[in-house]
Chains A and B, each alone.
Chain A
Amino acid sequence: MTNQPNKSEEILELFAKDPDKGMEMMFRTYFGLVSSIVYRVLNDSALAEDISQEVFLSVWKNRETIKITSSLKSYLATAARNKALNYIRDNKVKFAGGDEMPEVPDMTPGVEKEIAGKALKKRVTQLIDLLPERCRHTFVLSRFENLTYKQIAVEMGISEKTVENQISKALAFLRTGLASFLDEK
């Protein structure tokens, strides 16, 4: 499934003419993208699929009034991020776990044999996934969703100072865990 630059427009055109067909094309083209964004934020694949369904359901429910002024792709990416944020906001209880940082795990043996890039990917993913939930949310929203500290603070109902602390904690944890990759340079 390639995303030619005009794919987005093509889908929107079809959507305007034939909502049923347009919806299916939109869904098949972007469900993977939307669910990956939600998954990256929430780190729960079943939840990510469910919330992604809701993203597209919102589009469908509002098909008569919806006006997409940017590209469809970035519209859906923003909607995905917002739905994930809403979920965090509405489920504070679920994410209220401790902030205690885990111990940095040893590298899996045999990792040197893998291609360097692959090993790095694996290690980074392992480390980020290990962060305490609140710390992970903060880091991911800042790093990958490009939210400002202020936006994160508002969305998560914490102070900007806390956001800052969580990011430094995450960075410190990653720094320790990635030591062998940092040394090489």
Chain B
Amino acid sequence: MENLNKKVWDLSENYDKQLNPNIDAAWSEFDRRRKSLTDTKVAKRSFLLPLSIAAGLALAVGFFFLNRPTGQQFQNLATSENQIENISLSDGSEMWVNENSSISYFSSKEDERTVSLEGEAYFEVAPNKAKPFTVKSGKVEIKVVGTAFNVREIKASGAIEVEVKSGIVEVITGAKKVQLKKGESVIVAAEKLTKKVGNNIGGWRTKEFIFNKQSVADILEEIQRVYDVKVVFRNRDLEKCTFTTNFQDESIDNILEVIATGLGCELKKVNDTSFVLKGGSCS
């Protein structure tokens, strides 16, 4: 047995995982990203650090690239699980930061309207035509003059989703950009912009949902995300059923009860965060 494992271990040497990226394209991408950084000014040090510490430091220092002249209140807020924070900016704009997200912004400088976001947040931006409000999320830049919109980093794919509740929003990635109006949304993945119709924008904040002939799969995806629960279908065919309903800040049990009843399923609660739907059919 041991001997066999050793052989298998040796054979696995053959794992062929080479990436042959287009270096020219990668270099232009790097050059673009590099230029969009504000240079960190760190005092020159002359002592040598052990490599591992130096590497760790190099990665850590990277997070502080938003270094600006002093005198401005630079704030950084990170939310933990189940924590939603509401922030009012001095220009009158408001932001709601969803759980497991982090946001950097200036709290006292009225003409500085740039925030950088990791995770998800909903914005209500005070109008100021002369000074656009900019949200940076990964490779995506969202520019607005006065509007309400939601920005979300989709963890599974790294894509960024922007949904517009009111006003006009400009979404820019690399050389491409798109304008969104009320009710529109876009998914940005690998510098591709895919427009779609958005609904329940910022639903995580208000727990108000309106679903109009939407597939059960889509509805549940959103509900599971907002309520942090897992819902399993025994009958996968149901995912394609469409459903029209709305919820106003209801408990997860109530919501799933409504869906189960609508589909004729039996709802089984495994524990507080996981549910199973059995049987049922699209009717």
Contacts and interface: CB of A to CB of B under 8 A. Distances in A.
B48 interface: yes
A86 B59 CA distance: 10
Interface in A114-144: 117, 120-122, 124-125, 128, 139-140, 143-144
Contact of A174 (B11, B34, B155, B190): B11
B270 interface: no
A125 B18 CA distance: 11
Nearest to B7: A182
Contacts, number: 146
A62 interface: yes
B130 interface: no
A82 B48 contact: no
Contacts of A164: none
Interface in B29-53: 29-30, 33-34, 37, 39-40, 42, 44-45, 48-52
Interface stretch (B20-28, B90-98, B198-206, B237-245): B20-28
A44 B61 CA distance: 26
A47 B158 CA distance: 8
B14 interface: yes
B8 interface: yes
The 5 closest A-B CB pairs, nearest first, are A40-B17, A124-B14, A39-B19, A121-B14, A58-B62
Interface of A: 23-24, 27-28, 31-32, 35-36, 39-40, 43, 45-50, 52-54, 56-62, 64-70, 75, 78-79, 82-83, 86, 91, 93-94, 117, 120-122, 124-125, 128, 139-140, 143-144, 171, 174-175, 178, 181-182, 185
